Structure 1
C-alpha cells in the first residue's frame, strides 16, 4: 500500500537556526555605511520576519533601495559568523526523516540565499526541500508553504515557526501550528495567534509524530 508523503514545514531563521545576531548586524551595517543612525538591536529584532524592503522602509524609507543592496552584499559574506542550528535541531530532523516524514523549509529569505545558508550550515542533507519567498506574497500569506508542499507533491501536517507570521501562515495553509519561543517573538506575542503548541524548544514535536508506515 502506498502512503502519501506527510511533511513538516519549518521556518528557518529563529526556528531551526539561531541566526538573529548575524541578521541584526547586517541590517545595522547598512545604516553605518550610509552615515545614518542605526536602530537598536531590539528595534531590528521586532521586524525580523518581514521582507527586507519593509524592514528598511520602516526606519529610512528614502534609503530603502541602497540599504537593501548593502545588506545583501554584507550578509552574503557574514551570514555564518555566529549563526548555528539551535541545540537538538540536527538530531530532531534526523529522527523525523527516520520516522518517514518529509521535511521542508519555508522562509522569507530569497530562495537562492536560503539554500546557500542551509548548505553553509550543513543542513542540506537533513531536509528535503528549501523554499524561499521570490516575488509572491510573504508570510502571513500561505504562499511559500503551498509552494514547498507542491514541489514535494506532499501533504503538510505542521508548520513550525518562531513568529506570529509563521503561525498565521501555517493556519492559512491548513496545517497545525507549533510555535517555538527561542527565536524572534516571545511567548506572549506568539500566544496571541493561538498556536496548537507553544513550546521553549522542539522536543514536543516528536510526541505528535510517531513513525510512519513504510510504502
Structure 2
C-alpha cells in the first residue's frame, strides 16, 4: 500500500466556520450568557470545545455548554458548510494514484463522521479519525490513530493551523499548511511547515 496523506477537516477540507460559530453562540445564549462575537469564536476554531468555552466563560458549567453545542450542531452542522475549491478533485486524483487518505480532526469521531456523511465526503476517504480519549493536536495522537487504522506509513499532514503543523511534525510527517483556514500565512510561518500554499495544486505535484 502506498503512503498515507492525512488531512485536518475544519478549515482545511471544509469551510465550516459559520456553522461552528453559530452553534457555539447558540449554546452560550441557551445557557443564559451573552453570545461572543463571531470573529472571536472563529479565531479559536480547531481547539477542543472545552478550551473554547473556557476562554469566554471560565466559571460556567462546561459540560452543559458542550452538551448544548452538540445538540444544536448535530442538527445544523452543514447549513452553511461547504468544500473549499479543488478539495474533491484533489482527493479524487490522490486516491486514483493509490494514496491512502484520512482525516484527523479535533472533532469527536461521531461528529466527524456525521459531517462527512452529510457533505458526501466519506467516499473520498479511507478513514475518518476523530479525537476522543487521548490528547488533542498539537499532540500527534490523532494522526497516529489514523495511520494505525490505515496500516500505511504517513507521508503528509495537511492542515490550516499551527496545531496541525506541530502534530504532523511530531508524527514524523511532512507538513503542508493551507492559508484559507483559521491561521494566516504569517502565523503558520512561525511553526515552519514544509509547504505553505493557497491551493492544493502543489500537493498534487509533490505526490505523483
User: What TM-score do the two structures reach when normalised by structure 1?
Assistant: 0.94
Please state if 1:66 is matched with 2:45: no
Q: 2:33 corresponds to which residue?
A: 36
Q: 2:89 corresponds to which residue?
A: 91
Structure 1 gap ranges (5+): 211-215
Report the CA distance between 1:58 and its aligned residue: 1.3
Q: 2:143 corresponds to which residue?
A: 145
- 1:78 pairs with one of 62, 76, 79: 76
Secondary structure, counterpart of 1:108 in structure 2: coil
Secondary structure, counterpart of 1:70 in structure 2: helix
- How many correspondences in the alignment? 207
Q: Distance in 2 between matches of 1:41 and 1:94?
A: 33
Runs of 4+ in structure 1 off by over 6 angstroms are none
Structure 2 gap ranges (5+): none
Q: Distance in 2 between matches of 1:190 and 1:37?
A: 31
Report the CA distance between 1:109 and its aligned residue: 0.2
Q: 2:127 corresponds to which residue?
A: 129
CA shift digits 1:90-131 (9 cap, x unpaired): 110000011110100000000011011111100111000000
Q: Distance in 1 between matches of 2:37 and 2:184?
A: 18
Please state if 1:118 is matched with 2:122: no
Report the CA distance between 1:169 and its aligned residue: 0.1
Contact 1:22 1:83 in 2 (8 A): yes
Q: 2:45 corresponds to which residue?
A: 48
Report the CA distance between 1:167 and its aligned residue: 0.3
Moved more, 24-33 or 154-163: 24-33
Secondary structure, counterpart of 2:177 in structure 1: strand
Q: 1:185 corresponds to which residue?
A: 183
Secondary structure, counterpart of 1:160 in structure 2: strand
Contact 1:5 1:153 in 2 (8 A): no
- 1:16 pairs with one of 10, 13, 32: 13
Q: Distance in 1 between matches of 2:91 and 2:139?
A: 25
Instruction: Report the aligned-residue RMSD.
Output: 0.8
Q: 1:213 corresponds to which residue?
A: none
Report the CA distance between 1:62 and its aligned residue: 2.3
Q: Distance in 1 between matches of 2:100 and 2:174?
A: 16
- 2:202 pairs with one of 201, 204, 213: 204
User: What TM-score do the two structures reach when normalised by structure 2?
Assistant: 0.97
Q: Distance in 1 between matches of 2:122 and 2:43?
A: 28
